[in-house]
Structure formats: C-alpha cells, structure tokens
Amino acid sequence: MNSIGEACNDLKKEYDACFNMWFSDHFLKGNTDESMCAPLFKVYQQCVKKAMKEQKIDLQEVSKDILGGKHEKKVENS
Amino acid sequence: MPAMTTHGGVLYYVVKVPKDGENSTDSGWDNPFRPGGDLSREADEIVELIKGGKPITPTPGQQPPPLPPTLEPPVAESPVERAPAPAGVATSAPSPRSANGTAAAKQAPVGAVDVQRAIVKPDGDGAQADHPWETVATAAWRKYPNPHNTAVIGTDVVERKVVDGVLHTHRLVSSIWYFPKWAQALIGSAKICYASERSEVNPSSRLMVLKTINLTFCRHIAVDETLRYTPDPSDPRRTLLKQEAVVTVKGVPLTNYMEDLLTNKISNNAGKGRQAMEWVINRLNDEVKDLTRSTDEILCQTKRSLDDIASSAKKQMGDISQKAKQSFDDMHSMRLS
C-alpha cells in the first residue's frame, strides 16, 4: 500500500515492515517500548507531513468540522 | 411545464425542445433539478444523451472497481494499512454467517441542508472470526491492498504512540472513487477521498477499536464508523467484531431523495433484524467476507445508491423528455389546425 506522497513510499514500506514485526512480536507480547521502529517512523513521518501539506490535506480542519472537536487534542499539527 | 401564452384567443404552448447538437440549457420545461445550476446543466446533458440514444451512466472510464466474486488470498504484504479489517486472516475465516444484527434507522429532523441519515449497527455478537484476537489485530493493519477493495490506494500513519500500554494510531486513508458522471454533479468531481482513521489497541484488555471518518466525499456525504475487535468471551480462539456506522448527507441538492435512498437501503432493510442482516451480508459478502466489513461497504453502498439516483433521474428525465416532445407535438398540431 502506497503513501499519499510518492516520495514516501520506500520510507513507508520500511517502516511498515518494522511496525508489523514490532506489533506482533513485541507490542502484543507486552513490550510497549516503541524505540525499535522510531528512527524509521521519524523519517517517514516527515515525508508524509510534507506530502500532506503539498496536497493541502488538513486533518485538523477535518476533525474540527466533522468530529466536533472531540479529537482535537490528538490532532497533530501539520 | 411548458409556459402558456395566449395569442389572438388561441392558446398554445411555448416549449423549447432541445434538438440534437443544440444547446438546450435554456429549456423552459419543468425540471426536477434546479434551473441554472450545475444539476440543471447536467440534466440537459442527460437529456441530450437520452435523445441521442446514448447511455448516460456510467461514462466510460468511470466504471467502479470490480468486486471480485470470490475471495482471493490477501495480497497484503505491505503493512500498516488502513485498519478495519483483517485481510489476511479474517478473509479466510469462514464464519461471517454468525453475524447477526439489526440496523437502527435514526430519523433525524430532515433539514434542507443537514440531514443525519442512518445508523447501521449490528447488534448481538456482531461478526466473528475464527481467529484469536491477536491474529485479527495484526491482520487489521494489513487490510490493504485488498483485491476486494481496490478503492483504497494509500494509507499513511500520521501519528502513532504508546500511551499507558495502549497503542494510539492516527492514519490517513486515501481512496479513489468512481462516480457516474451524473452523480458527480452531486458529489463534486473529487475522485480521491480521504478518511481519517483513529485506532487504539490495548493488548492487555485485548481490545482494538478503530474509528473512521471520511474527510472529503466529501462535504456532502460523511461516513462515521466505529469497529471494535474483541475476543469472543465464550471462545478465546475467536474474535468478535462490533460495528457502528453513521452516514450523514448534507448540503446536497435532492437531499430528500438521497435521504430516502439511504434510509431505505441502509436502515429499513437492515432494520428487520436477522433477515435484514442476511441481506446485508449477502450483499457484502463478496467484497468483505467476515471482518473485512468496514466503512468501505457503506461507501460502496452509498455509491450504489447514487447509481440508483442516476437511473431514477434517467427515468425522470425520460419522462420529461417525453412530455416535452408531447407538448411539442401538441403545439405543432395546434398550429396546423
């Protein structure tokens, strides 16, 4: 599955692979330490946020309008 | 409705009948669509097509993605997909029949601009998968790509963190939707729609909850869905899915009509309990087997409803076209006589 940002696809795949392993082998077994995929997540995130900005996708606005703000505090600024 | 005019005591109709190849936007006859707007222009286009004997919908290249009749093994090797449904695991689980539920139709006050449509809420045990919760939860991240929902073209994790042992994830899900050209007048030409999916996975209580809301579709049709994966209390080797979806339509011309459609399609039919659930499951089975039921089906259903609108409109326009012709003929015969 691709990212919205084409440039992020490779980063996403790497991160996803890491996350899936972490999720089943660590997280579900009680190890909640996130550091394993953190570096991959960070670069992937930066790429995605840039892509979202470029494509003018604003999740914050959405949350406000549709969810009535109930998730606002969770929304990360793009 | 043709305008009536009198001339020297002779009553006749003034009606402009769009001719092939002629711009018909100023046709004066009664139109279910609002004059002057996009819909009106679309309607004129439709009439032209009808008169030309051409199909009006869907236009070539806008066919919806085919729904595979049989379930193939999930292709999903790519991780972190948009969550709700386990492609890999749940797909192969043979227990969708155990799903039982009813859908409660909530009749919100019908406003011209903001109409809350329907709540589809399976009750009771919900759907089940013959897999332990852990397997389902893992699979849920890999739902896409899925041959049964080619609409989803991208998923991105926007935010993810573990708080008090619970994994919180916010994902942006991108899908591509194909509408008949006619329906695009209602929904806009936006083909790529975005959904916001927030999820929580609690491994100690074995609970996975996903809330999805579509962002674009976008200003007009909102689908708000919640999925809950929990272990079957009577059998830890199985997983239950509970689902609730709210469909909202607002600011759409023909809102009442859409309301009827959506209500009928989603609520009334589904509201008849087991039998209705059977209907829903049968309808959705091909695409979603099992736990793969999610927002997509609602969206898909909405799309189908729009197809219905389109065909209904086609019919109406046909009638109108017929009436216009009739009037035209009348006028002719009056003139002749």
Q: Are A32 and B79 an interchain contact pair (Cβ–Cβ within 8 Å)?
A: no
User: What residue of A is the nearest CA neighbor of B204?
Assistant: A30
Contact A57 B170 (CB under 8 A): no
pLDDT confidence of residue B160: 94
For A6, name the nearest residue in chain B, comparing CA atoms only. Answer: B154
Residue B259, CA distances (Å) to B58, B111, B187, B202, B214 in order? 22, 10, 14, 37, 18
Interface test with A, best of B75, B80, B193 (most A CBs within 10 A): B80
Buried (b) or exposed (e) across B274-286, using 16+ Cβ within 10 A? Answer: eebbeebbebbbe
Q: Do B156 and A17 touch (CB under 8 A)?
A: no
Longest dimension (CA), chain A: 38
Is the Cβ–Cβ distance between B114 and A54 less than 8 Å? Answer: no
pLDDT for residue B74: 36
Locate tokens 């691709």: which residue? Answer: A2
ipTM of the complex: 0.79
Q: List the 153-182 stretch of B: residues with Cβ below 8 A of A.
A: 153-162, 165, 167-168, 170, 172, 174
Low-confidence ranges of chain A (pLDDT < 70): 60-78
Nearest-neighbour CA in chain A from B230: distance (Å):
14
Picking from A1, A24, A64 by the largest number of B CB atoms within 10 A of its own CB, the best residue to mutate is A1
Residue A30 to residue A34: CA distance in whole angstroms: 12
Is residue B32 classed exposed, middle or buried when 0-12, 13-18 and 19+ CB atoms within 10 A define those classes?
middle
Q: What share of chain B is helix, strand, coil (3-state, %, to 5)?
A: 35, 25, 40
Give the residue among B103, B95, B94, B106 at the shortest CA–CA distance from B274. Answer: B103
Q: How far apart are CA B287 and CA B275, in angstroms?
A: 19
**Can you give the pLDDT at residue A28?**
93
Beta carbons of A19 and B78 less than 8 Å apart: no
Q: In chain B, what residues touch A3 (CB-CB under 8 Å)? A: 154-156
Domains of chain B from N-terminus onward: 3-59+313-336 (no CATH), 88-298 (3.30.530)
Q: How far apart are CA B236 and CA B290, in angstroms?
A: 17
Task: Give the pLDDT confidence score for residue B152 in this predicted structure.
Answer: 73
Burial per residue of B229-251, b for 16 or more beta-carbon CB atoms within 10 angstroms, e otherwise: bbbbeeeeebbbbbbbbbbbbbe
> Which residue from B minimizes the CA distance to A58?
B215
The answer to whether B226 touches B194, Cβ cutoff 8 Å, is no
Query: Which position has the token pair 């936007």?
Result: B25
Nearest of B196, B242, B85 to residue B149 by alpha carbon: B85
In terms of CA atoms, which chain A residue is nearest residue B250? A66
Compute the distance between CA of residue B123 and CA of residue B227 in angstroms, rounded to an integer: 12
Which of A5, A13, A41 shows the shortest C-beta gap to B78? A13
The answer to whether the CB of B157 falls within 8 A of the CB of A48 is yes
Q: Which long-range contacts (CB under 8 A, 24 or more apart) does B107-112 make?
A: B107/B263, B110/B256, B110/B259, B112/B255
Residue B157 and residue A13: Cβ atoms within 8 Å? no
| CA quadruple B112, B114, B120, B123: dihedral sign | negative
User: How high is the pLDDT of residue B238?
Assistant: 80
- Contact with chain A for residue B75, Cβ under 8 A: no
Please check whether residue A19 touches B, CB under 8 A: yes
Per residue of chain B (337 residues), what is the pLDDT tens digit? Answer: 444 433 444 443 333 333 333 333 333 333 333 344 444 454 455 555 555 544 434 333 333 444 334 333 333 333 333 333 333 333 333 333 333 333 333 333 333 333 333 444 444 445 666 677 888 788 777 776 655 555 678 889 999 999 999 999 999 988 776 555 655 665 555 567 788 889 999 999 999 998 888 765 455 566 677 878 888 888 888 878 777 766 665 555 555 555 555 545 444 333 333 333 333 333 333 333 333 334 444 444 444 444 444 444 444 444 445 555 555 555 555 555 4
Contact between B262 and B222 (Cβ < 8 Å)? no
